[in-house]
């Protein structure tokens, strides 16, 4: 073999080796690149199957007829979108985004963009088509120490951390609006334990620590709430069941600065502490499938209030009845609420019923499902000033008023 042939053979061998090496490198790269991608896609698919997305949109027309003031009319909307997922047997996570920056509702009023434009602009002049804000309405983690197994005692036990759905709102027995606004999402830690001693009797214990206001000057003085609730459900038969809950709230370290933000009187508390007791109970009678009837009652008592003006104003109550089925015909209800000025902190009770003041309010409402996941809801609030009510800390004087809300609610 000549020298030229030897050189040619060497070049071919090196080229062949390079080609083989290139093929091996390309194959290895393909394994390293594409295999993880396929695995990630498969993992993402499994995660996607675990996630439960849901949301709702509400369009509302609202009218105010207030004694001694001009009538007011406004259009509003609310958009909420969230998701929940079980990460594994021990951890679940949930979140929800919503319009509106207020804790007592996600409403966004048409033509109200002050949060975007700043306080300098006059909201009564100009044209406001500014973008509306989206806020974190919920963000929470649920820890299940026992996974899918039952704990040593009872049937369930879990811990929720974050900005969470209110564990102290009743379910299925009418609204409890004396102490909580229905849109409040408290922030803190909550423990829930459940048991079913008998087939007809279930009970649940909830214990929570909620932070009301972060005190950056003195962190040891954060206004906070400790709550303990025992609720139970007794099913007498297929037609009749009874639900009730008793809750004790210990609100501590209420600074003077925090109290000044409330529209209660100076008699809310004498020692910057609050001890509140609440009862809520109701009976559901479902003898007729299309016309189930629920009768309920709600009571709250502030043991820490002191007398001022007309004496202690430390109690509130609500009673109501609801009947019907919105899918088959219509769901209708009526209720009466009365809340004295120092029964609960004004930042917590329902803003629609009391509108920031302590009053007596009649509520009548009707809800009809017109299409799948689409409801029309009409509510009318008739409010009268209580005879012994006094001027609140914020200087707002309660007025007789009528408030009418007509809403279209779409769930998806």
Of 20-29, 321-330, 361-370, the range with the lowest mean pLDDT is 20-29
- Domain extent for 178: 43-411
Checking if the pLDDT of 361 tops 50, the result is: yes
Checking if the pLDDT of 105 tops 50, the result is: yes
Residue 144: both structure tokens together: 């299940």
The Cβ-side half-sphere exposure at 51, using a 13 Å CA radius, reads: 14
According to the model, what pLDDT value does residue 1 have?
55
According to the model, what pLDDT value does residue 61 have?
98
Confidence of residue 242 (pLDDT cuts 50, 70, 90): very high
Q: What is the mean pLDDT of residues 345-353?
A: 90
The 10s digit of each residue's pLDDT in 92-104 is 999 999 999 888 8
> Residue 134 domain-assigned?
yes
> Residue 213 domain-assigned?
yes
Q: What is the mean pLDDT of residues 284-296?
A: 93
Confidence of residue 336 (pLDDT cuts 50, 70, 90): very high
> Residue 124 domain-assigned?
yes
The 10s digit of each residue's pLDDT in 364-399 is 999 999 999 999 999 999 998 776 555 443 445 556
According to the model, what pLDDT value does residue 256 have?
85
What is the rounded distance in angstroms from the CA atom of residue 389 to the CA atom of residue 375? 37
CATH of the domain at 164: 2.40.160.10
8 Å CB contact between 352 and 381: yes
pTM of the model: 0.83
> Residue 23 domain-assigned?
no
Helix (H) or strand (E) holding 42: helix 3-50
According to the model, what pLDDT value does residue 398 have?
56
- Identify the residue with better confidence: 178 or 219: 178
> Residue 190 domain-assigned?
yes
Checking if the pLDDT of 357 tops 90, the result is: no
> Residue 30 domain-assigned?
no
What is the rounded distance in angstroms from the CA atom of residue 53 to the CA atom of residue 250? 35
**Mean pLDDT for the chain overall:** 84
Checking if the pLDDT of 263 tops 90, the result is: no
According to the model, what pLDDT value does residue 111 have?
86
Domain count, the chain: 1
**Residue given tokens 């594409």 in the structure block:** 34
Residue 247: exposure state from Cβ atoms within 10 A (0-12, 13-18, ≥19): buried
Number of helices (H), then strands (E), belonging to the chain: the values are 4, 17
Of 17-21, 132-136, 232-236, the range with the lowest mean pLDDT is 17-21
DSSP secondary structure code for residue 240 in this structure: E
Q: What is the mean pLDDT of residues 197-218?
A: 91
Q: What is the mean pLDDT of residues 331-356?
A: 90
Q: What is the mean pLDDT of residues 263-291?
A: 91
> Residue 20 domain-assigned?
no
Of 68-72, 280-284, 367-371, the range with the lowest mean pLDDT is 68-72
């Amino acid at each position: 073999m000549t020298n030229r042939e030897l050189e040619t053979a060497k070049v071919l061998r090196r080229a062949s080796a390079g080609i083989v090496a290139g093929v091996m490198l390309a194959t290895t790269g393909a394994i390293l690149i594409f295999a993880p991608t396929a695995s990630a896609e498969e993992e993402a698919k499994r995660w996607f199957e675990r996630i439960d997305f849901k949301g709702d949109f509400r369009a509302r027309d609202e009218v105010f007829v207030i004694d001694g003031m001009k009538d007011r009319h406004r259009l509003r909307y609310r958009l909420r979108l969230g998701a929940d997922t079980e990460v594994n047997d021990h951890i679940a996570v949930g979140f929800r985004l919503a319009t509106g920056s207020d804790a007592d509702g996600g409403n966004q009023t048409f033509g109200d963009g002050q949060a975007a434009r700043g306080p300098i602009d006059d909201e009564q002049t100009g044209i406001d088509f500014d973008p509306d804000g989206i806020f974190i309405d919920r963000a929470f983690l649920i820890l299940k120490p026992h996974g899918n197994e039952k704990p040593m005692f009872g049937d369930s036990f879990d811990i929720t951390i974050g900005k969470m759905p209110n564990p102290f709102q009743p379910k299925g027995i009418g609204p409890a609006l004396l102490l909580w606004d229905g849109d409040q999402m408290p922030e803190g830690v909550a423990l829930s334990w459940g048991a079913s001693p008998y087939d007809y009797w279930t009970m649940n214990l909830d214990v929570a620590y909620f932070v009301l206001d972060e005190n950056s000057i003195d962190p040891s003085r954060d206004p906070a709430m400790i709550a303990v609730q025992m609720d139970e459900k007794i099913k007498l038969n297929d037609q009749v069941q009874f639900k009730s809950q008793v809750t004790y709230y210990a609100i501590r370290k209420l600074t003077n600065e925090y109290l000044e933000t409330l529209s209660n009187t100076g008699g809310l508390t004498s020692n910057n502490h609050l001890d509140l007791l609440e009862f809520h109970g109701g009976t559901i009678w479902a003898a007729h499938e299309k016309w189930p009837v629920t009768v309920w009652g709600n009571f709250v008592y502030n043991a820490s209030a002191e007398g001022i003006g007309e004496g202690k104003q430390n109690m509130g109550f609500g009673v109501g009845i609801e009947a019907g089925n919105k899918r088959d015909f219509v769901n209708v209800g009526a209720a009466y609420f009365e809340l004295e000025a120092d029964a609960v902190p004004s930042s917590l009770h329902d803003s629609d019923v009391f509108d920031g003041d302590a009053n007596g309010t009649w509520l009548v409402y009707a809800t009809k499902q017109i299409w799948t996941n689409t409801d029309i809801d009409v509510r009318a609030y008739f409010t009268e000033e209580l005879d012994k009510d006094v001027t609140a800390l914020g200087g707002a004087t309660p007025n007789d008023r009528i408030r009418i809300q007509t809403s279209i609610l779409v769930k998806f």
